[in-house]
Amino acid sequence: MCARYLAKGLAAMAVSVVLGGCSPSGAPLPPSAKLLEGLPAVTASVASATGYPTEALEVLAGAAHLRVSVQDAKLATADQATRENAAIQIVAAIEKGIESRSEFSSIQEISVAIIHPAEGGESAEDPHVEDVMQFRKAPSGRFVHHIT
Specify the pTM: 0.73
Query: What pLDDT does residue 25 have?
Result: 44
Of the candidates 107, 116, 110, the one whose C-alpha atom is nearest the C-alpha of residue 133 is 110
The identity of residue 5, as a single letter, is Y
Total residues belonging to the chain? 148
What pLDDT is recorded for position 14? Answer: 43
Q: How confident is the model at residue 44, as a pLDDT?
A: 94
Q: How far apart are the C-alpha atoms of 139 and 20, rounded to whole Å? A: 23
Q: Residue 12 is which amino acid?
A: A
